[in-house]
Structure formats: structure tokens, C-alpha cells
Amino acid sequence: MEPEPTDLAALIGEHDDGVSLLSVLERIQAHYRYLPQEAMILVSERLGLPLSQVYSVATFYHAFSLKPRGEHLISVCQGTACHVRGSARVLEAVVKTLGIHPGETTPDNKFSLQTVNCLGACALGPVVVIDGQHYGLMSPARVGAVLAKYRDGRAGSDTP
Amino acid sequence: MSTPTPGTSITVFLNGRPIQTVEGRTILQVAREHGVHIPTLCFHEGLAPYGACRLCMVEIVRGQSRQLVASCTHPCVDGLVVLTDTPAVQRSRRITAELLLATARHVPAIRELAAQLGAGEPRFTLPEDACILCGLCVRACAEIVGVRAISLVNRGAEKRVSPPFRIASNDCIRCGTCVLVCPTGALTLADIAGPPTTRHRSESQYEAPACQLCGQAWNDLPTGTGRSQQAVQAQTGSGAR
Amino acid sequence: MTRLASAPDLAALREMLTARHEPGRPSIAICGGTGCRAKGSEEVAGAFAEKLARLGLSAQVTLSSTGCHGFCERGPVVVLRPQGVFYQSVRVGDVPEIVSETLLANRLVERLLYTDPVSGRRVAFEHDVPFYRRQHRVVLDLNGLIDPTSILDYVARGGYAALARALCELTPEQVIAEVTAAGLRGRGGAGFPTGQKWRLCREASGHPKYIVCNADEGDPGAYMDRSLMEGNPHRVLEGMIIGAYAIGASRGFVYIRNEYPLAVRHVAHAIEQARAYGLLGDDILGTGFGFSIEVRLGGGAFVCGEETALMASIEGRPGEPRPRPPFPAQSGLWGKPTNINNVETWANVPLIVTRGAAWFKGLGSEASGGTKIFSLVGKVNNTGLVEVPIGTPLGEIIFDIGGGIRGGKALKAAQLGVPSGGCIPSEHLNVPVDYDTLKSLGAIMGSGGLVVCDEDTCMVDLARFFLRFTQEESCGKCLPCRIGTRAMLETLERICTGRGREGDIEYLEELGGEIKRSALCGLGQTAPNPVLTSIRYFRSEYEAHIRDRRCPAGVCEALVRAPCQNACPAEMDVPGYVSLVGEGRFEEALALMLETNPFPSVCGRVCNHPCEAKCRRAQLDEPVAIRQLKRFVAGQGLRRPIASAPGRDGPRVAIIGAGPAGLTCAFFLARLGYRPTVFEKLPVAGGMLAVGIPEYRLPKAVLREEIEHIAALGVEIRTNTPIGDGIRPADLLQEGYRALFVATGAHQSRRLAIPGEGLRGVVPATDLLRAVSLGEPLPAVAGARVAVIGGGNAAVDAARTALRLGAREVTLLYRRSRADMPALPEEIEAALAEGVVIQELASPVAIIGGNGIVHGIECQRMRPGPFDRTGRRQPVPDPEVRFTLATDLVIAAIGQAPDLSPLLTDLGVERRPDGTIEADADGRTSVPGVFAGGDAVTGPATVIEAIAAGRRAAIAIHRYLQGDGASLWEPVRPAPAAFDPEAEPVPYGRCRAEELPAVERCRGFAEVEASLGAEAAQREARRCLRCDFRDRG
């Protein structure tokens, strides 16, 4: 998605006293699924912050990505409770099925994979979240079927 | 510092020696003023203390308990008891030096420092990298020169010094202060600067950046004799925020 | 929404709401916390709304989505009030029934009720559910009651009354004094006294002052703060406003991690509502005090839970911590005095102001008042949020509230304060969970994450996991954290992949200690804790990884070919033979078994199958029936072609004891070309297999056949030939035996040491079982009332034997709870089915008799007391309760010990205080040429351990006699069975073998369990997931 100057300006909003750089970047990230260079430059100018600071913040926090994320974001919880219940093997299965590692996006831009540290749904561990939908009690055996739903565009249907 | 009132006269005990000083000074400052050597790497008189290298640790004693603190940032309070060369301190410095050798083992200055602190061949190594992330270059660019052309990007093991987008910075004025202040020779201007363009700044907003000390803008000489370098060399302490 | 202009306005609003509230009005509360939502609670709520609308009941019934109830394991949770009926695991399909049965007809829907796993009773009401009953929910009290998006719900239940009291009746100093007196300590992990923190900020000079709520909750495994923010955000806000008043702050921030979208929504909504009601903003409640709050989002960086990094983030900079001092109280956000507290800390403040410091202090321990919320997660049965008074023993939290370990496994350790905390092993379950007591054990309270680990958790792997986390989250500013923790991580990676080196543990200890002391911030300073505590309490696990290249828990992939094989003491190639059975290649499977175990028929009946306990198939349905497969194969009457070393006239070796250890040693020595002679004191060979294990579990004919196979290799077995007084060990060496293997077992029964033991009618279990096996005279059992004392396999064997001998009744007395009995669970169940009565928590104190004969046994009732070092509750006498059981025969089965006195003095081998022989893992004793193994070395243990010891000793003897480089026999190498890694696992469950019906069993000693048939065995074998398969692609 190429950033439109007017869209961007709206996302950045009024830069009154105390506006949060992180909040602004988060809005841009949510809208474009990444932080385009032009956006960061505009933010730096509008908020009166050095570009190097904006870039530091963009690269420090894992909430942001400088490359476009895939259509579907798969987050595999690597929290302690999930780990103790075998999340490492679930992650392996996802990596194998998609052919990408955490932090990467599939060549067809369909899936991005990331690991997260504890989503706070520990009773359901191991947990995988896809586009905000929680899949609990995951096992390597279930990975294929769950991912297929998104590949076939059947996502959003019932039964997690 | 519990409600410090800088300027109040206090007594601290440095290796057993009572010393008169004023509230608000750091242990490192007091030590240097009284000829007590504490090794440092990321400290510079002209910059605010950063506390990253952890070489300047000293022991402070409070009743029965002892604690290691970073002398470059720890403030003096009345009655503070400081020991700068105990076995605990030496152990700490030795291990820190050994960790420095993990990446910068090929840098003569680091090898020498490590030898002085008793570190042998490192038990853990990473690919060689002269940059030890002391932050001096970034801090000098921000606090003395004021253009903030470079910053620390990424985090953790991926952390490095870089201009925005890893391309030549439009804000760099090629004053060379960063190169001068780097303790390991890791930094070269070629990594940071390029001819001024507006490639990554919007046309309407572009203003040529300039050094806040001398007002000099883009400087074509590789290491000029701008006032920023003088500031660094003389360690006058000016330019600190 | 009308703005409240004064405290009386607020009181009036509350009164009006209370008056409007109809106590009998039915309400349905559905948990809307993230955990339940993930299980579909939103859809359930929707279904209720629809159903009520269709029945025209929407106006009469209050339907609300509440915050997290805490019992996340059983979500979605639905509570119907006013009765308080508690339904768990509710699905959309259950809604119509709940409405028609419970709401309209006041009847319970049984299947949705919580069932207590121990008693089997169903519990109808919320307040009776054991998970809740043992908690003390004050901070979480409103979580299941109110709608978190409704400020009126909160006000109706007393919300904001504390704020009114603070602003109108107390000075800021008084508020601080109250919080200080209450003993509230920071709930985020460090436990700094909150009142003191507030005072420092109040006294600091600078303006404006700021308040921050640290809602970053990055600890992986902790979600208490999330539930508070989702379920009762107003309480957190109220605490912050009170704090702002006390400190003199005018602006506040709630910094919430971006991974908590629901919490963000609820807090933001609550702020808006509070503003609209005049509880935030200028002139709050007309007092002139003004305070505003904003939400700020985190960016996915755990380090931003550290105060200075958090502030950097709010200021729009990377989350790099700053050195402290100066502390935020003096110089925080934008250089101004700032007070930062955790969500839970803030939530406690209104409670202190309304109920008083004395109440709060009284709730907790000496050093810290109040309660703490823990997220109890991991391998525990009742996963969820638990609120208990500070100082509650750890064991109570895990067992009494948590319901113990999933799957009945053994607790190994609890991780607190992950990843910064440390592990507490099962020996310390009595530790009161309090800030200082935990520190002394090397752990920290942390924010409340309590991760329970069981026997299947590898502590080295877990330490590596935490360090990976720390490395990923390290900001990278300081050297010790950035590079030091990486050095530790790579060392752990090496250890977990079989490349550990001597000195690695010491390196981790040294480096870890220095990193703790020199890192810049709390993240780095605590990063080594999991490693250091796991080394402190589980050093042997590290040593096993490094020296033996073994992972005892069966986790580290590089060291574990398959968890079953890894768990087998004899390292049998389980996936190998199971897969061969799956292909119908029974003879090859048998040959493979015989490579490590000459007793597949025996083990196929009596082994305690540690392999099945680790079988990964259990994660899908049930473990593969590995023991049954062994029995099936061995029972096919197949040839046993044994590969052995050439030359059958090798040196002679003497073996003392023809039990499993001795005979196994003989078997492998024969394969290596030796001529073993086994000396057995009893008239039959087999040791405990022959005289300990009853016929109905292991028919003598089966044992005899297996021993004959061993003898056929050239092993001489001389029964009725004791070694000791007659033939002395020295004689044997003179006669030309080149080495000795002592495997005399442990047959000496432990004395009860109670009055009356000498009466006629008191018999050691081993004596009874031996007499039955050998056909010797027995005490009078037929028609007798029999009491068996003990809880192990010997006790259960004796009990079931007594029944078969015609006892009128058999009672088994065990001093601990039934769940703690060491006997095999299947044996205990069989005993119960046959009519044995188990009296748990009963300890005999005296045997009563008349005329020298037993007629009763007096017992002390016990109750579970504090936890002991094994992690079980130690039984303590219940002083008031004693009872007498009328008995004619008392069978003692409280343990056995080796009895070797004359033999051992002769040999001169070193012994341990308990009488066992001192020997290493390969059987070497203190005397060269003399080896020992089995129960004589370990004390009473399992058959498979004895077999494993025999095999290791045979190889050790071979190397002793022929040098370390001596080669072994040529191993069998069957072609691997085929396996398609892409194929789905077969969908069917475990095959069950036939058993004699319980009523028929006690008529005699016929074998109870039958074998699987060939087809069933093959089907069963195909359930194996082939964990040994490694992708060669």
C-alpha cells in the first residue's frame, strides 16, 4: 500500500502537547501493515523530532515492521506456560508448513509469522493467534488444518 | 539522591580516605579529582554519563551489605563509603573485559585494557566487530554537535550505530566528531555521510543542518578542525545537555 | 450521565442504584475475559441474548459480560444469580437448556457443573467450588460480578467511595500514612514499600508531578494485570487518583502493552466514563483537586516493564533504561518527579482506604500486608488466577487450589517471577510465598506468574528458554546483558545439544553471578536467576546432559532418540521393536528386544513401564500399550536366535543370586563368550520374580520358560546353593572364577517396630509371598480377617494373594493418602475391584492379641500435614481419632532391605548406612573384580532397573577382564520399518487386553490379564508416532 499524503497527515493527527510518538507510529502500522519510509519522514517533521530518533524507535519496538506484513499475521505464543506444554513443536510445525521463519513473510505475501511472549491465555496453551483469532490447545497435528482454512479463504468460520 | 541540594558540602570515604566534596558529584568525578584510577570506556567529560560499559563499577558499603555500582552515574551523598579496587571489583572488571574481547578482541586498545584488568583469552567469542556500542559517537553527535545524524537502532544483539534507513544521512555535516571520539576506530565517515540530498527529507521541509557550537554546515574535509572536535579534544565539558 | 459535583452526590448516586437493585432479580454473568473469549464466550453471550429476546425475557433478566473470573481452565464460565449456580465449559449449544432448566425451572444441568477430581462430587454453587473456596478474593472480588464497561455497576458496589473519603476526609499525608501502615509492597515484582515510594515522590521538588500505572505485564505466563484491567478498570483508576492526590501529581499515564487490546479498550472507556462523571479532570468531586489520565501503548518490548525504560517509551524514545539513582521519584518523566506502580498495586489502594490499614496488614504476613494474585499455569490441573494472602505456603497454592499436577505426574519445580525469578523445587513446598522468604531460596516473588513444572520438564531446557527470551528482549545497551547473557545462552544451547563440556556449569555460575552484579537494569540483573537456581537445585540434570549426554526428562531433542527409549532404564529400542510389530515382523522385534533385555515375557507382564509414562501419543489420546506389545511378541513361541561372540569356552564368572539382575548379567556374559555360573540360595531361580510376584501376575511357567532360554546359552544355574558360610566368596575366586557379580536383592522385610509385632499372626509380606510361591506351609488365611500394612507393590500383592487364599476380608492400611501410594495404579485398581478395602491415612500403633495370638490392630488416624522433601504431604496424627480394626492376620509390607552380612564382610565391599552395597552405575564396587547390581545396590526398585544393571555389569566385567577396547557381540540391525512423516496419526484409541472378571479372579491364581491377539497388537503398534524418526530430507 503506497502512502497517500492526506491519509498520512490524518493518521498523524494534531501534534499538540504530549502527543505520543509510539501511538502515532502504531496508527500508521495498523493502517499500512508496516511503516513506510515516507511516513517516518513526515512524522519526524510534523512532530519536530529528529529522523534518527523516529528510526530508532521504529527499529527498537517489535510492534513495528519496516517491511510489509502479510495478509494474515500468525503469532505463536512462546510464553512459559505454552512452552512447558510444547509450543516449540507447534512453532516447528508452522515453520515447516509455511516455509518461513519467525519475522518473515511468505513470498506470496499471504502469511507473516512472529513469535510473541505470552498472550495471557495460559489456560489454553499452546496458543496461536491468527488475525486476532485465538486457537488454543494447539498441537503439531492441528497446524495444517488451521492454516489451510486461511489459505482457502475459509477463515473466520467457527470452531477454533 | 534523596532531594539533593547540589552544592551542599559533604564527606565521602574513598578507599578509607575521607574526602570533602559537594552533593551531586558522581563517584567517578570525585575519584578523578583525587587521583584514584577507575577504568572507563563509555565515559567522556564532555558528555552526560551513559552507564553502558560497566567497567567503572566500584563497591559501596552500607553497614553489613556491599553493592557494586557504576561510579560514572552514582551520586555522592554524605557518609558514602567507596572501595574502588576490592577483589569483587576486580572480578567484575575482569569478566566485563572478557566480554569485551568477545567481539573486539582484534582491537589493540581493547586488548591492552583487557590485559590490564586480568582478562585472558575469552571463553566466548562472536564474529569480530570493533564497535562495542559505547554510544560515544551517537551522544557526541546529539549533545555536542546537535545534528543527531546517527542513532542506536534495533535492540539487543542486533543493536548497532546507524543513520536513518541505513543510508547516507542528510543530517550529517561531516565534522568527524564521531570518528574522533570512537575508542576503537570502528567508525568511518563513509558509513554515515554522503553528499547532501533531499532524498529522504521532504523538499519543502529541507534545511541544511549545522553544528550547534560553531554553526558550520556541510564540511567537505574528512576531519575538519571545527569547534566540535576541539570540544571533544579539550574535554571542556561544554555541550552537555 | 450527570457530573458528580461532590461526595454527597456520589453517595446519593450509590443509594439510588442500590435502591433500584432488586435482590431477587435473576442475572446471567458470562465471563468475557480474553481466556474465555478465546474459547467462544462471546458467542455464548450472543446466544443467551438471542434466546432471552425470543422468550421476551430481556427486560426481566440481567445479562452481562463480566471480567475474568479466574478459573480459566474451565472457561467459558457462566454464573446464574442470585443462587450462584456455576457452569463451566459452556457452549453455544448448551444455552437453550440452561435457560429452560436453570433460569426458568430452577433445575441444574448436571453435566455443566464442576466435578471435583478427587471426590467425584459435582459442585453446584460458585462459593463451593474448591478452586474459589480456598482463595481470599478481595482485589478480584468484583471481577465476576460487574460489567467492566459500566461505571454504575462499580459505583453501586461501593466504587469511588474510597476516593471520596481520601479527598474529603484525609490529607495527602494521612493517605500516605495509611498506605504505609498497611504494609503494601509493589506487586510488580520488586516489592518496594509503596507508602515509602509515594513519600519520596511527594517530598521531591519539581512540578508537575506524574503518576504512571505500569501495565506492561511482560512476564510470559502472567496475566493478572490483564484481568484486572479487563474486569475492573475503575478500581485501578480509583487507586491512581488517590495516589495522585497523595503525591500531588496532576497527570497520569496507564502504559499498557499493545498485546492486550481488550484491556486497552476497557481502560480507555473507563477513563472516559470517569471524566464524564467528574471523577477525573478538573475539580474532582468539587474538591478543587484536578487529575487527568491517558492511555499509552507499549510497542512490544519486555524491557519497557522496567521503570526508566517505560518512561523513555512514553517520552517517545527507545526503551533503554537509565542508571538509577536518580530514581523516578526525583527525576522521572521529562525530568519531573514521577511515581510508577504496578496495576495490582494501584488496585489495592481503594481497599486500604475504605477498609483500613489494620485490616490489610492482618491479611498478609508480618512483612507484607494484603493478598497477591498469581496466575497459576503450566502443568497444573486448575489453571487460572488465584488470589491468596501473602505468606500462603506454595504447596497449598499448587495442590489445594491448583488441584495438583495434570495427569497425576510428579511435581518437579515451580517457577516464580518468570523469567526473572527462579525455580523452587518440590522440597520447599512449605515456603510461605512472601517477598523475603523467596529471596532466601534464590527466587523472587515477581509479578505473580507461577509456572508449574513436572517430571517431563527439563530444567536445563527451561533455563535455556528463559535466556532466549531475555536475549530477545535485551535492549542491548550494557555489555553484561547484551553479550554476557548471550554467552550463557550459547553455553546452554551446547549443553542441550550434547556438546556440553566440563567446566560449563562453573562458567555459568561465574558469569551469571557477575552479570547479576554489574548489569545496568533489572532485566539484566535478574536474567541469570533461572540458570543459577536450576543449577543450585538440579545440578545433576546439568551433569547428566554434559557427562552422559542424557536428558533425564526426555526433552532435549538432540539427546533423546525417543522419549520412551530415553525413559527406559535398560534403554530398550522401543520405537524399533514397536514399529516392527506394526509391520508384522515379530521375530525381528523379538531379536531387537533381546539386545537389551532377556525377559520380554516377564516385563511384558510386570514392568512399571516408564516408557508409557513418557509416550507422546498420550498427548493425543493414550500412550501406546508398549508393555502389552512386548508380552505379545515374547509369547508367540518364536525362535530366539541369539547373536553371541565366537568361542564358547571363555573365562568363568560367578554370579550370586538368580534374580533378574543376576540372570541378565549371566545372559549377556554368555553372549560375550563367558561361562557364567549362577548360585541361588532358594530352590528356584528367579529371585523376586519367582517368590515375590504372585502367580496371577506372572505365571511360574512363563518365568521358567524365559529362564530356560537363558540357560540354553550355556549358563549354569545352581539352586539350593547359598554363598556365605558354606561356600565362601574367597573360595569362588580360588576356584578360578575371574570375577564376581553380587545380585542378592533385598528380601529382608522391615520391622514394624510397634508393640505386638512378636505375636503369632504377624507375618512379613515377603515371607508370605515366598511361602505361597514355593508351596511351603502358610499361616491360616482362609476365613481370616487380614490387615496389610503398607502401600507399595508388595503390600498390594500380599493383599490380593490373601483374597485368593480365602481371606474373609482384606484391609490395606496406608499412612498417607491413596494418591500417594507407590504401588502401580493399575495394581491398586485391580485390588479394589477384587474387594480389597483401602484405609488411607491410617497408621498402626499397636497390634493387640490375647494368648499370644493377634486379634486386632490399633490405628492412629492421620491427616495430611506440611509438605515434606518429596513434595508429598507428610501425614501427621490426628490426635483425637484412633480406631481398632479386628484382625486375625497382620501382614507387614513397609519395605525391604538387603541382608548380606556374612557374605559381605567376607568380600570386604563398602556398604552404605542403609545396608546397600556401594557401587557405581556399571556395578563396580570398592573391590576390583567384585561387581554388584539390582536391589542389593539400589534398595527395593523395579525389575527393569535390575535388568539394566545386570546388562551394564556384564559389559563392565567384560571390559575389566579384557580391556576397555574389548568388542561386544554383533548387534542385530533389522531394516527400519517404513514411516510416512506426512501421514496423519491413526485416529483410534488404545487397545485393551482382556481381563478375568473381578468375581472370577479370587477363585484361584489364574493369570488375570490376557495377551493382545496378533491383529490387535499390530493395530496398537501403528498408533506409535515414531518420535525417533528424523527427517533425512
Asked if residues C201 and C209 have their Cβ atoms less than 8 Å apart, the reply is yes
Reduced to 3 states, what is the DSSP secondary structure of residue C741? strand
Distance from CA of A31 to the nearest CA of C (A): 15
Nearest to C194 by CA among C409, C347, C410: C347
User: Taking Cα atoms as reference points, which of C374, C370, C342, C341 lies closest to residue C356?
Assistant: C370
Q: Which three cell numbers stand for residue C629?
A: 506389545
What separation in angstroms does the CA of C105 have from each of C28, C109, C120, C324, C525?
Answer: 15, 11, 26, 64, 60
Residue from A17, A19, A22 to probe the interface with C (highest C Cβ count within 10 Å): A22
Fold entry, domain C371-556: Ubiquitin-like (UB roll) (3.10.20)
B154 shares a domain with B71: no
> Domain C24-81+85-124: which CATH class?
alpha beta
pLDDT score at C22: 82
Query: Does the beta-carbon distance from A52 to B148 stay under 8 Å?
Result: yes
Which one, of C21, C351, C287, C348, lies nearest residue C158 by Cα? C351
Tell how many helices (H) and how many strands (E) occur in chain C.
42, 30
Give whole-number Cα distances, C694 to A25, C660, C700, C778, C806, in Å: 74, 16, 9, 15, 15
Three cell numbers, residue B14: 574513598
Task: Supply the mean pLDDT for chain C.
Answer: 92
Q: How far apart are CA C516 and CA C529, in angstroms?
A: 8
**Count of domains in chain B?**
2
Which residues of chain B make contact with C326, given a CB cutoff of 8 A? 1, 75
> DSSP 3-state assignment of B38?
coil
Q: What pLDDT does B198 receive?
A: 54
Give the DSSP per-residue string, C883-918. Answer: EEEE-SEEEE-S-EE---HHHHHHHT--B-TTS-B-
How far is it, in rounded angstroms, from Cα C519 to Cα C528?
11
What digits encode the pLDDT tens for the residues B90-127?
A: 999 999 999 999 999 999 999 999 999 999 899 999 99
The confidence band for B237, taking pLDDT boundaries of 50, 70 and 90, is: very low
Predicted pLDDT of residue B2: 47
Q: Residue for cell digits 515375590? A: C692
Res A139: pLDDT: 83
Does residue C586 carry a pLDDT above 90? yes
Selecting from B150, B155, B164 the residue whose C-beta is nearest the C-beta of A60 gives: B155
Omega before C755 cis (within 30°)?
no
The DSSP code for C653 is: E
Query: Is position B140 within any domain?
Result: yes
Q: Bridge partners of C882?
A: C860
> Chains meeting C at 3+ CB pairs closer than 8 A?
A, B
Which residue would you say has higher pLDDT here, C733 or C577?
C577
C348/C390 Cα distance (integer angstroms): 13
CA distance C1026 to C998: 36
- For residues C533 and C466, give the distance between their C-alpha atoms in angstroms, rounded to a whole number: 12
**pTM, entire model:** 0.89
C221 contacts on A by Cβ (under 8 Å): 79-81, 118, 122
Check if the beta carbon of residue B34 is closer than 8 Å to that of residue B19.
yes
Residue type, C132: Y
Q: Which residues contact C775 (CB under 8 A, 6 or more apart)?
A: none
pLDDT, mean over chain B: 85
Determine the Cα–Cα distance for residues C446 and C439; give it in Å rounded to an integer: 11
* Contact partners, residue C565, CB within 8 Å, separation at least 6: C571, C572, C573, C574, C575, C611, C1028
Average pLDDT over residues C573-578: 96
Residue C509 clears pLDDT 80, i.e. is over it: yes
- B156 and B71 co-located in one domain: no
Q: Which residue in B141, B145, B153, B203 has the most chain A C-beta atoms within 10 A of its own C-beta, making it the best mutation to test that interface?
A: B153
Listed range (C112-121, C131-140, C189-198, C938-947) with the worst mean pLDDT: C112-121
Q: In this structure, what DSSP letter does residue C872 have?
A: S
CATH number of the domain encompassing residue B219: 3.30.70
Residue keyed to cell 442504584: C17
Interface membership of A55 toward B (CB under 8 Å):
yes
Would you call C16 helix, strand, or coil by DSSP?
A: helix
Q: Which helix (H) or strand (E) holds A2?
A: none
Note whether C477 contacts B135, CB cutoff 8 Å: yes
pLDDT value of position C30: 93
- Greatest Cα pair distance, chain C, in angstroms, is 107
Q: Which residues pair with C452 in a beta bridge?
A: C378, C414
3-state secondary structure at position C880: strand
Residues of B with CB under 8 A from a CB of A: 148-155, 162-165, 169-171, 200-202, 205
In a domain, B104, yes or no: no
Contacts of B198 in chain A (CB under 8 A): none
Q: How far apart are CA B176 and CA B188, in angstroms?
A: 9
Chain B interface with C: residues with Cβ < 8 Å: 1-4, 49, 51-54, 57, 68, 70, 73-75, 88, 91-92, 95-96, 99-100, 102-103, 123-124, 126, 132-133, 135, 152, 154-159
Q: Quick one: C652-747+898-962 is in which CATH superfamily?
A: FAD/NAD(P)-binding domain (3.50.50.60)
How does pLDDT run across C248-261, given as a tens digit for each residue?
A: 999 999 999 988 88
Q: Which chains lie within 8 Å of chain B at 3 or more CB pairs, if any?
A: A, C
pLDDT at B239 over 50: no
Domains C563-640+973-1021 and C652-747+898-962 alike in fold: no
Q: Which residue has the cell 515451580?
A: C414
Same domain, B69 and B147: no
Sole residue written with cell 497446524: A143
Look at B171-180, C792-801, C818-827, C894-903 and tell me which has the smallest mean pLDDT. C894-903
Q: Is C261:A133 a contact under the CB 8 Å cutoff?
A: no
Residues in chain A: 160
Give the CATH number of domain C748-897: 3.50.50.60
The answer to whether B189 and B142 are in contact (CB under 8 A) is: no
Task: Give domain status of residue B124, yes or no.
Answer: no
Task: Report the largest interatomic distance among the alpha carbons of chain A, rounded to a whole angstrom.
Answer: 52
Inter-residue contact C521 to C321 (CB < 8 Å): yes
Q: Is residue B241 pLDDT above 60, yes or no?
A: no
Pick the CATH number of C151-363 from 3.40.50.11540, 3.40.50.40, 2.40.30.20, 3.60.70.12: 3.40.50.11540
Going by the DSSP 8-state scheme, the letter that residue C593 receives in this structure is H
- pLDDT at residue C336 is higher than 50: yes
C520/B152 Cβ within 8 A: no
Task: Encode pLDDT of C876-885 as tens digits.
Answer: 998 888 999 9
When mean pLDDT is compared across A77-86, C306-315, C394-403, C424-433, the lowest value belongs to A77-86
Name the residue ranges covered by the structural domains of chain C.
24-81+85-124, 151-363, 371-556, 563-640+973-1021, 652-747+898-962, 748-897
Write down the CATH superfamily of domain C563-640+973-1021: Alpha-helical ferredoxin (1.10.1060.10)
Q: What is the pLDDT of residue B66?
A: 95
Say if CB C136 and CB C371 are below 8 A apart.
Answer: yes
| pLDDT at residue B226 tops 70 | no
Q: Which residue type sits at A147? A: L
User: Residue C646: pLDDT above 80?
Assistant: no
Radius of gyration of chain C (CA): 34
pLDDT in tens, B53-94: 999 999 999 989 999 999 999 999 999 999 999 999 999 999
Q: Which domain holds residue B157?
A: 136-198+205-236
Mutate to test the interface with A, among C68, C69, C255, C259 (most CBs of A within 10 A): C259
Give C744-803 pLDDT, tens digit per residue.
998 888 888 899 988 889 999 999 999 999 999 998 899 999 999 999 999 999 999 999
Nearest neighbour of A60 by CB, restricted to C261, C301, C453? C301
Inter-residue contact C627 to C656 (CB < 8 Å): no
Chain A residues whose CB is inside 8 A of the B205 CB are 45
- Kind plus residue range of the DSSP H or E element containing B161: strand B160-162
Residues in B closer than 8 angstroms to C476, CB to CB, are 133, 152, 154-159
Q: Where are the domains of chain A?
A: 5-60, 72-151
Report residue C67 as a C-alpha cell.
471480567
Contacts of B154 in chain A (CB under 8 A): 59-60
| Exposure b/e, B72-102, CB count within 10 A at least 16 = b | bbbbbbeebebbbeeebbebbbbbbbbbbbb
- C461-499 pLDDT, tens digit per residue, is 999 999 999 999 999 999 999 999 999 999 999 999 999
Q: Which of C323, C491, C507 sits opposite B73 (nearest CB)?
A: C323
At C338, give phi and psi (nearest 5°): -135, 135
C745 shares contact with chain A (CB less than 8 Å): no
Three-state DSSP class for residue C317: coil
DSSP assignments along C850-863, one per residue: ETTEEEEEEEEEEE
Residue C341 contacts A where some CB pair is shorter than 8 Å: no
Quote the ipTM score.
0.90
Q: Write the CATH number of the domain with boundaries A72-151.
A: 3.40.30.10
Closest CA to C68 of C107, C30, C22, C11: C30
Asked if pLDDT for residue C338 goes beyond 50, the answer is yes
| pLDDT exceeds cutoff 50 at C1033 | no
SS3 percent helix, strand, coil of chain A, rounded to 5, is 45, 10, 40
pLDDT at A160: 41
> C-alpha grid cell for residue A131?
488475525
Secondary structure of residue B12 in the 3-state scheme: strand
